[in-house]
Amino acid sequence: GNSVTQMEGPVTLSEEAFLTINCTYTATGYPSLFWYVQYPGEGLQLLLKATKADDKGSNKGFEATYRKETTSFHLEKGSVQVSDSAVYFCALAYQKVTFGTGTKLQVIP
C-alpha cells in the first residue's frame, strides 16, 4: 500500500534559520504530493503541492520538489519566522490521501 515517512520532530530552529523537513513516500501509480500545515487548535491548510515528477510546489517562501527517482518531497524554507511554528504534514494522494505522522516545528526568536 501507499505510505509516507516524515522525519520525526520536534524541530527547533532560531528565527531566520534554514529549514528542511524530509519526506519520502512509497506509492503505486502516479500520486500527487502535498504539504499541509496545522496551526495549534486549527484544521489543515494546504501549503503547497506538486502533481507530477520534477514539479516544484512553492508558497509563502516554502518549496518542495517532486523527486520520483528518490521518491522524496522534502520541504524547505530559506529563512523561517516565529509565525511558521506549526505542525507540517506530508501527504500523497492517489484515490485516498495518505498522511505522514507530522513534524512539529518550533521557531524561537
Partner 1 sequence: GAVVSQHPSWVICKSGTSVKIECRSLDFQATTMFWYRQFPKQSLMLMATSNEGSKATYEQGVEKDKFLINHASLTLSTLTVTSAHPEDSSFYICSARGPGPTYNEQFFGPGTRLTVL
List residues near partner 1 by CB under 8 A.
31-32, 34, 36, 41-46, 49, 51, 89, 93-94, 96-97, 99-102, 104
Residue 8 or 54: the one with the smaller Cβ distance to partner 1 is 8
Give the shortest CB-91-to-partner 1 separation in angstroms. Answer: 9
Give the shortest CB-97-to-partner 1 separation in angstroms. Answer: 5
Residue whose C-alpha cell reads 501507499 in the numeric block: 2
Give the shortest CB-100-to-partner 1 separation in angstroms. Answer: 7
Residue 17 or 27: the one with the smaller Cβ distance to partner 1 is 27
Widest distance between CA atoms in the chain: 43
**DSSP letters for 1-46:** --EEEE--S-EEEETT--EEE-EEEE-SS--EEEEEEE-TTS-EEE
Q: What cell was used for 33?
A: 504530493
Residue 77 or 102: the one with the smaller Cβ distance to partner 1 is 102
Pairwise CA distance, residues 96 & 16, whole Å? 36
Residue 31 or 107: the one with the smaller Cβ distance to partner 1 is 31
